[in-house]
Amino acid sequence: MSVKNRIALLTLGAASFGSLADPFGEKVNCREEAKGQQNMYAGEATCSAQLVYVNHSKSSPTANLCMETEIVEKWIPISEDVAESSNPVVAIGKLHHYKTKGITTTMSDGVCTILNESDWITCAAEVPFSHVADVYGEVCDYKPVSSTSYYGERIGINEYITSIGTTGAADFDGHIVSRELWINGVEYDFNTIQKFTTQSGAQFAVRIRVTDNDGYQTEDTQTIRAIDSSNHDPSRPRDVR
């Protein structure tokens, strides 16, 4: 009776290898290029900041107390010379000094106590347009990516079928023009799963190479060894069953 079991494939990786896990591929030929334009702003920016505080006054004609409150609201102009940037609106501010009439239970010469106060006030100011500038950034080419998968089945006593096939190839900034697959030095169809009947311990040297329309190539190699997991040496690594 034949027994079909998935066997372990002893490799440096898992049940697949290659670079397809990274959809962008390796960056090459990176350089600074103009990627567009943007408006630039600079110069004197102005706005008005709100200042709110409380004044106290005599509570009644007969009482000699500063207990009556009054909410005071003022708008204070602010200006600032803004350095060149791509921001048309910026926050500007300053420390503003002012006087208030403070609360007290006894008036001094008929006038509530004068207090010196200061607050940091801010507002949003429009910055004058300056000019249009080129925007530079890093631009890179990308190498193509590909991947190969493999698995095995036991079909008899010490007899196995090992299947090796590619799972695809892609190019982030172009398209693939060439796909190549070698197993033990023999070239095979990149798009077809290759099956080999072997004994335990058989090894397969797998190499894949893909080329994109810019001429960049990515090549990956891996040695796959089929082993019977039931007789696996625990001192050696095991990856896929």
Paired sense of beta strands 114-126 and 159-170, if any: unpaired
Mean pLDDT computed over 99-126? 78
Q: What is the pLDDT of residues 39-55, one digit of tens each?
A: 999 999 999 999 999 88
Checking if the pLDDT of 2 tops 70, the result is no
Average pLDDT of the chain is: 80
Which pLDDT score is estimated for 239?
A: 35
At residue 17, the pLDDT reads 55
Block residue for tokens 């706005």 = 47
Q: How many CB atoms lie within 10 A of CB 136?
A: 11
- Those residues with Cβ within 8 angstroms of residue 64's Cβ, 6 or more apart along the chain or in another chain: 58, 106, 107
HSE-CB of 193 using CA atoms within 13 angstroms? 9
Six-digit token pair at 193? 């799963």
Fill in the DSSP letter of residue 171: -
CA atoms within 13 A on the CB side of 138: 7
Identity at 215, one-letter amino acid code? G
- Closest among 164, 149, 155, 154 to 203, alpha carbons compared: 164
What is the share, in percent, of the chain residues with pLDDT greater than 90?
Answer: 43
- Please check the confidence at residue 110 and state whether its pLDDT lies above 60: no
Supply the DSSP symbol for 12: S
pLDDT band at 106 (very low <50, low <70, confident <90, very high): low
Question: For residues 111 and 218, which has the higher predicted lDDT (pLDDT)?
Answer: 218
Question: What is the model's pLDDT at position 203?
Answer: 86
Q: What would the mean pLDDT of 16-30 be, rounded to a whole number?
A: 74
Q: Which residue has the tokens 């040695």?
A: 223
Tokens 């494939």 map to which residue?
A: 9
**Least confident interval from 21-30, 46-55, 68-77:** 21-30
Helix spans in the chain (H): none
Distance (Å, whole) CA 161 – CA 226: 9
**How many Å apart are CA 109 and CA 45, to the nearest integer?**
44
| Nearest partner of 48 among 121, 100, 120, 117, judged by Cα | 121
In Å, how far are 10, 108, 161 from 241, measured between CA atoms?
10, 95, 14
Residue type, position 32, single letter? E
Q: What is the pLDDT of residue 109?
A: 56
Which has the minimum average pLDDT: 41-45, 66-70, 77-81, 174-178?
A: 66-70
Distance CA 197, CA 186 (A): 16
Tens-digit pLDDT profile for residues 148-173: 887 777 777 777 778 887 778 899 99
Tell me the domains of the chain and their CATH numbers. 5-26+143-231 (2.60.40.10), 39-135 (no CATH)
Q: What is the structure's pLDDT at 156?
A: 72
